[in-house]
Structure formats: structure tokens, C-alpha cells
């Protein structure tokens, strides 16, 4: 098997991650094991709320809260005022979509383009809007490798394209879409461009300038290793200049005698009430990742994922289902002799966390490839080749 060669102190990473002593966690595309600094940060703020009150604790932590915006901006290559801190990737994506819908509106004949592997929570709002406005949802073809076909997408572009939604790293097929190529093709278009970076934030470098999207949404709980209930939304200059979010609240706008004034920058996409303890934890997670280096994290995850694909492919009856030229840390597979739900049960019983991937998450992609369910494995930097080998042994002995 190919060795994992990233020159890292894996013992230190695992010592920073208490969960490594309890379980083999290969479900980081679901929710990663947080480093202790993340949990400590959340608990510390909750204790402060316990001692002095929630509003008072918030005021005391205001400088640290501002630093979270700075950290996320460093992560995605943007300015802090282009960052909104939200409760999840879905919440961020939805607020972006709502703003486009409220400000621009969709009309009969408008075309809404999405990748064929798009996540259900991104497609369902498009279908809702289309069913009520006469707009039409169209799916961009895949290229020969299975990724979004940028050339085909370019040929689909016209003045009637109102919105484009692309998932950077789909959660069910291991590929990495060329979101920068899509962004380049959109230059000069009036279409709004939404990128879902839910699975790429924390495991791959993100550069919003290179991507060229109006919005990039991401979660804290996956490869960033932050708390559940956290996420962020990058909003471009165009988005914060031309779009009005709906609905507003007293954080995203100011109610004045003659009407209202919307907050400057991306904070217009935020709401006042959220878990400030969790958002401080998100900041700690982002800082931890930045300290390790996103490029180094990407290299190690890539090597572990490649080791998993090689190990699993060597097992009789196992088919690794991943596609694409560039691949993420998500590894998916089926077994000819063991249904995926049963295989997940046996793997879990062996003390290994993996995920069952089913069509309801990406209906079009699953149907196109005739897959009813599959096992999803997603290592992180703190995992080891020995843990991958343990997984492969369980799969090889599954019945």
C-alpha cells in the first residue's frame, strides 16, 4: 500500500484530539472530532455566561468575536467585512438564495443551473421557486471524469440564466468540482453564483477571489472540526451592494423613524440570536487549522484517502465509487456481497465510525449511476494508516 508521507507530528494531533483515544473516526465529512481547544473554548464561554449572564459574557468576548471574522477571512482569502457568521452551511446558503429571490425575483423563462451532484438542500429551494414562478431548473452535464463539465456549462450560458449553484466537493462521490472554472465562465454574466464549500472548508485551500462566486457557504462541524450549529457565508462586493436579505432583524438592519438601514457588508446576512459560545469555538477551530496549514492538511487527507481507496479496491467484491480527476478526502464504496446498510452496521460494531450515503442527499447523482446506497469513509489529518487498515480488514471479512 502507498505510505502516508506528510511530515507531521501525528502523535501531537491525536493528543490534541481526545476522541482519538475512544474511537476510529472516519466520518469527518459528517462531523469531525474537534480538538480539545475547540471544546474548551465553547465550555469556557458557557461558564462565563453561567457566572455573569449571556449578554454580559457576549460583551466581554466582543474583541474575541471580532477576531473570528478575521480568522475566517484568512481561511477564504477575503476581507473580514465579507464574512457572515451563521448557524450552518444550509442557513448561509439559504440566506444568500433568499436575498437573490427577494431582491431580483425569478420570472417565467429564468433558468437556474445546478451541478448534477448538487446536495438536496440546495436543489429543493430551486425546485420550490421554479414551481411557483415559472423558472426552470437545469442540471449541468458531467465531463468524462464525472465532474461538472465547464465547457458544457459555458455553452449553456445565456442572458436568461439567473442563478448557478455548484457544490465544490459533493458529499457522495469523492470528486472536486472546478468552481474557479465555472466562475471564470460567468465573468460578464448577470447570473448569481452560489458555491457550497461545506465539504471543502478545512480540507482544501479556498480562495474566494479565484473562485469568483457571489457567495461561498460552509459549515464548522465537518473538516474544520468546529462545533455543530456553526458556519459562515462569504459575500462578494456585488452581493453586499446589490442584494437585500429577507427577512431582516435588528442585527442585520437598523429600524429608523423613516424606515430602515441595512447593515454594511456581509453582516446583513446574520441574525442577532445565535450561540456565541459555539461561534467562538468555530474561531478556535479555524485558528487551529490555519496554524497547522491548510495545504498540509489537504496533503495528509489526500494521502489517507488514496490509501483507503487502494486498500478497499484490493478487496474482492468491493467497488470504489469515487469519480473526478482531483479527488477530495471523501471515499465511497459498495460491496457486491453485502448491502451498504449492513456493511455500515458491521463496521460500526468494530468501533469505526463511517457513514451510510443514500439517494435522498443527492437524488439525481445516485439515480444517474444506479446506486441505492453506499458506504462513505472520510479521514482527517489525525487519522492513521493503521486505522484505514483496520477498516479494510473489517470490510474484507464482512458477510
Separation of alpha carbons 205 and 76, rounded Å:
8
**Is 174 in contact with 331 (CB distance < 8 Å)?**
yes
| Whether residue 1 has pLDDT greater than 50 | no
230 secondary structure, DSSP code: -
Looking at residue 8, what is its pLDDT? 76
pLDDT single digits (tens) 137-151: 999 999 999 999 999
Burial class (CB in 10 A: 0-12, 13-18, 19+), 371: buried
Copy the grid coordinates of residue 67. Answer: 477576531
What is the residue-averaged pLDDT of the chain?
Answer: 96
Range 10-34+293-396: architecture per CATH:
Alpha-Beta Complex (3.90)
Helix (H) or strand (E) holding 56: helix 54-60
Q: How far is CA 288 from the centre of its chain?
A: 18
pLDDT single digits (tens) 197-216: 999 999 999 999 999 999 99
The alpha-helical segments, DSSP class H, found in the chain are 10-15, 36-52, 54-60, 62-76, 89-103, 120-133, 150-156, 179-186, 208-211, 237-242, 276-292, 294-313, 340-349, 363-369, 385-396
Q: Fold for domain 38-291?
A: 3.40.640
Domain ranges of the chain: 10-34+293-396, 38-291
pTM attached to this predicted model: 0.96
Q: What is the mean pLDDT of residues 55-59?
A: 97
Amino acid at each position: 500500500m502507498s505510505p502516508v508521507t506528510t511530515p507531521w507530528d501525528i502523535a501531537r494531533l491525536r493528543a490534541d484530539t481526545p476522541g482519538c483515544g475512544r474511537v476510529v473516526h472516519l466520518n469527518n465529512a459528517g462531523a469531525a472530532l474537534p480538538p480539545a481547544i475547540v471544546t474548551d473554548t465553547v465550555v469556557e464561554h458557557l461558564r462565563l455566561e453561567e457566572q455573569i449572564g449571556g449578554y454580559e459574557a457576549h460583551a466581554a468576548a466582543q474583541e474575541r468575536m471580532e477576531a473570528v471574522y478575521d480568522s475566517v477571512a484568512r481561511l477564504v482569502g477575503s476581507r473580514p467585512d465579507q464574512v457572515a457568521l451563521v448557524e450552518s452551511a444550509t442557513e448561509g446558503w439559504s440566506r444568500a438564495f433568499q436575498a437573490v429571490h427577494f431582491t431580483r425575483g425569478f420570472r417565467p423563462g429564468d433558468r437556474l443551473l445546478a451541478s448534477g451532484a448538487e446536495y438536496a438542500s440546495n436543489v429543493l429551494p430551486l425546485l420550490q421557486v421554479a414551481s411557483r414562478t415559472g423558472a426552470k431548473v437545469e442540471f449541468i452535464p458531467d465531463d468524462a471524469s464525472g465532474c461538472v463539465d465547464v465547457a458544457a456549462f459555458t455553452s449553456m450560458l445565456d442572458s436568461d440564466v439567473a442563478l448557478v449553484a455548484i457544490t465544490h466537493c459533493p458529499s457522495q462521490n469523492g470528486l472536486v468540482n472546478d468552481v474557479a472554472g465555472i466562475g471564470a465562465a460567468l465573468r460578464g454574466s448577470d447570473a448569481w453564483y452560489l458555491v457550497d464549500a461545506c465539504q471543502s472548508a478545512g480540507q482544501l485551500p479556498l480562495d474566494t477571489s479565484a473562485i469568483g462566486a457571489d457567495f461561498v457557504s460552509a459549515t464548522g462541524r465537518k473538516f474544520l472540526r468546529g462545533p455543530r450549529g456553526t458556519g459562515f457565508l462569504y459575500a462578494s462586493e456585488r452581493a453586499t451592494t446589490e442584494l437585500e436579505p429577507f427577512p431582516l432583524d435588528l442585527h442585520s438592519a437598523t429600524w429608523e423613524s423613516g424606515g430602515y438601514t441595512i447593515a454594511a457588508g456581509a453582516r446583513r446576512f446574520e441574525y442577532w440570536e445565535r450561540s456565541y459560545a459555539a461561534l467562538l469555538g468555530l474561531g478556535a477551530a479555524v485558528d487551529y487549522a490555519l496554524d497547522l496549514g491548510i495545504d498540509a492538511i489537504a496533503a495528509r487527507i489526500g494521502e489517507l484517502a488514496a490509501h483507503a481507496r487502494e486498500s478497499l479496491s484490493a478487496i474482492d467484491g468491493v467497488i470504489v465509487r469515487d469519480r473526478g480527476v482531483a479527488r477530495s478526502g471523501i471515499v465511497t464504496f459498495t460491496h457486491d456481497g453485502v448491502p451498504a446498510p449492513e456493511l455500515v452496521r458491521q463496521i460500526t460494531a468494530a468501533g469505526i465510525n463511517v457513514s451510510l450515503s443514500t439517494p435522498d442527499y443527492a437524488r439525481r447523482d445516485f439515480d444517474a449511476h444506479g446506486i441505492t446506497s453506499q458506504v462513505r469513509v472520510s479521514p482527517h489529518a489525525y487519522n492513521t494508516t493503521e486505522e484505514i487498515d483496520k477498516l479494510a480488514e473489517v470490510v474484507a471479512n464482512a458477510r
